[in-house]
Amino acid sequence: MLFSSVSFLFAFLPLAVCVYFVAPGRHVKNLVLLALSIVFYAYGGLGSLAVLGCSILANYLCGLAVDHFRDVPRAARTALVVGVVVNVALLASFKYLGFLAGSVSAVSGISLPVPTLIMPIGVSFFTFEGLSYIIDVYRAKAPAQRNPLDVALYMGLFATIMSGPIVRYSQFHEQIRGRSDRLEGLAAGAKRFTVGLAKKMIIAGALGTLANSAFATPDVDLSVAAAWLGALAFTGQIYFDFSGYSDMAVGLGQMFGFRLPENFDYPYISQSVTEFWRRWHISLGTWFREYIYIPLGGNRVTRLVNLRNILIVWALTGLWHGASWTFVVWGVYYGALMAVEKFVLGDRLERIWRPIRHMATMLAVVVGWVIFKSDTLGGALQYLQTMLGLGGQTLVDGRALFYLAQYRFELIIAVVASLPLVPLARGWWEKSERSALARGLFTAGTALVLAALLIVSTSYVVSTTFSPFLYFKF
């Protein structure tokens, strides 16, 4: 079930809100949320629900074992290792088995049979949360849950189960019992959800149509300008699609009293690749830093070991996104860029004129998205060659002019919406002294804008065909 589907918007969500706020007491409300989450996830298939249930049970038992043997370090560490192995094995079985077999076959020439397994939606996300649970319990950052239903609520909450944000257990455990769910939070969450829905339906949908058209066009028929428009469109699509989902997830969390972590912070204003990844998919970057990079030694090691740690983390980051060498190369590409910024440019980076830094960063990001979007490394290289005019293509053709004419408004809106204009304007307004009438008009105007966004977005939902979020396949 998609957040941007008719069934969710007009049936599941209204029913969920009504049942939740009628339910008495925190314990019953949690049971209601868990039941709703089971229904929500089961909508995608009972097989996926069974995998999720096994993952929850395994992590619950490992968490109890880690806590039980806390005074016996070796036994506690063994329980932790068992939990990590179980989680990694589950993820590898459903997501990477075919990739590993194909890679071995390509190198050895031996054909390996691979069972056909349907990858559960969100397996990368709930597996990482399961790992966070047992690791945080082992580190004594949060207590083990005695009630398995509480672990199930953490790993299976319908707001985050599909595509995050990845919530670390240490951020979540107190909210299971101690959160505050009031009408103010419901209203704030509904606003945030509306903004995310608008990002997805109004901006990402149109840009995705442009990007798919450009990337599906044979290179010989694609001009330099059309190739660039396709790459820029995908750059916008993936941001507004995924940040839109994250806004909707955070908004849903607010509706039910949860404080979910922010996942995006206007990444396209970044002045370096390192800054870009501090602003993009924040919860994933934080997870890798806490559970992979720092345990490897982080930056408190020699330069060579630090370089190794960076490349390992980014190779894993790429592989996390998909079982393909394209994603591995994409991850290593970013790891190499960040290593250059850290070890080669260093403080000199700050002395470069800001517009140049921003343009260079965005160029690197667009190239990265071409690699990410392409099905093969060869396809990515061909598309990049077209963008550089190295394939003999014309500079501008009718296709490029059509793209500009057809999607000019969406492209302009995407550029404006990727800038932090709204928080800047809100901060200026809140700091300035205004009369009660002016503040009332501002509140009313904001409500009208949100209502308009909701009406337009829902009209897109009703009139368009199936349009899944990009990150569902990861």
Contact yes or no for 374/380 (Cβ under 8 A): yes
Q: Which of 112, 144, 179 is the last residue of a domain?
A: 179
Contact yes or no for 368/321 (Cβ under 8 A): no
The tokens for 437 are 């009438």
Range of the domain at 330: 186-417
Same domain, yes or no: 118 and 229: no
The tokens for 211 are 């990007």
* pTM metric for this prediction: 0.94
Q: How far is CA 465 from CA 3, 121, 243, 249, 434, in A?
A: 14, 20, 21, 22, 45
**Residue 371 falls within a domain, yes or no?**
yes
Q: What is the pLDDT of residues 274-298, one digit of tens each?
A: 999 999 999 999 999 999 999 999 9
Contact yes or no for 469/201 (Cβ under 8 A): no
Q: Which of 179, 213, 233 is the last residue of a domain?
A: 179
**Residue 457 falls within a domain, yes or no?**
no
Q: How far is CA 29 from CA 174, 410, 462, in A?
A: 15, 41, 31
Distance CA 312, CA 331 (A): 9
Using a 10 angstrom Cβ sphere, with 0-12 exposed, 13-18 middle and 19 or more buried, the burial of residue 113 is exposed
Using a 10 angstrom Cβ sphere, with 0-12 exposed, 13-18 middle and 19 or more buried, the burial of residue 93 is middle
Q: How far is CA 33 from CA 201, 253, 260, 322, 358, in A?
A: 27, 11, 15, 30, 43
Using a 10 angstrom Cβ sphere, with 0-12 exposed, 13-18 middle and 19 or more buried, the burial of residue 144 is buried
Contact yes or no for 126/91 (Cβ under 8 A): no
Counting every residue, how long is the chain?
A: 474
The tokens for 288 are 């890798």
Distance CA 16, CA 8 (A): 10
Q: At which residue do the structure tokens 């190239």 appear?
A: 367
Residue 173 a catalytic site member: no
Query: What pLDDT is recorded for position 107?
Result: 76
**Residue 70 falls within a domain, yes or no?**
yes
Same domain, yes or no: 190 and 121: no
Distance CA 423, CA 161 (A): 28
**Residue 436 falls within a domain, yes or no?**
no
Distance CA 253, CA 308 (A): 37
**Residue 151 falls within a domain, yes or no?**
yes
Q: Which amino acid, one-letter code, is at 260?
A: L
Contact yes or no for 265/232 (Cβ under 8 A): no
Q: Cis peptide before 295, with omega less than 30 degrees from 0?
A: no
Q: What is the pLDDT along the chain (474 residues), one digit of tens a residue?
A: 889 999 999 999 999 999 999 999 999 999 999 999 999 999 888 889 999 999 999 999 999 999 999 999 999 999 999 999 999 999 999 988 888 877 777 777 777 777 677 889 899 999 999 999 999 999 999 999 999 999 999 999 999 999 989 999 999 999 999 898 888 999 999 999 999 999 999 999 999 999 999 999 998 889 999 999 999 999 999 999 999 999 999 999 999 999 999 999 999 999 999 999 999 999 999 999 999 999 999 989 999 999 999 999 999 999 999 888 999 999 999 999 999 999 999 999 999 999 999 999 999 999 999 999 999 999 999 999 999 998 888 999 999 999 999 999 999 999 999 999 988 887 887 777 677 777 778 778 888 999 999 999 999 898 876 566 776 666
Same domain, yes or no: 172 and 301: no
Same domain, yes or no: 74 and 205: no
Q: How far is CA 203 from CA 251, 409, 447, in A?
A: 19, 10, 20
Count up the domains in the chain and report the number. 2
Distance CA 27, CA 24 (A): 8
Same domain, yes or no: 224 and 137: no
Same domain, yes or no: 173 and 199: no
The tokens for 198 are 């608008």
Distance CA 238, CA 61 (A): 37
Same domain, yes or no: 14 and 158: yes
Q: Which residues neighbour 378 within 8 Å (Cβ) at sequence distance 6 or greater?
A: none
Same domain, yes or no: 75 and 200: no
**What 3-state DSSP class applies to 45?**
coil
Which one from 27, 68, 281, 321 is the annotated catalytic residue?
321
Same domain, yes or no: 218 and 276: yes
Same domain, yes or no: 239 and 280: yes
Q: Which amino acid, one-letter code, is at 154?
A: Y
Sign, Cα dihedral of 452, 456, 461, 462: positive
Same domain, yes or no: 161 and 53: yes
Q: What is the DSSP string of 355-380?
A: HHHHHHHHHHHHHHHHHHH-SSHHHH
**Residue 314 falls within a domain, yes or no?**
yes
Residue 166 gets which letter from DSSP? Answer: -
Q: What is the DSSP string of 432-450?
A: S---HHHHHHHHHHHHHHH
**Residue 295 falls within a domain, yes or no?**
yes
Same domain, yes or no: 193 and 132: no
Distance CA 147, CA 189 (A): 28
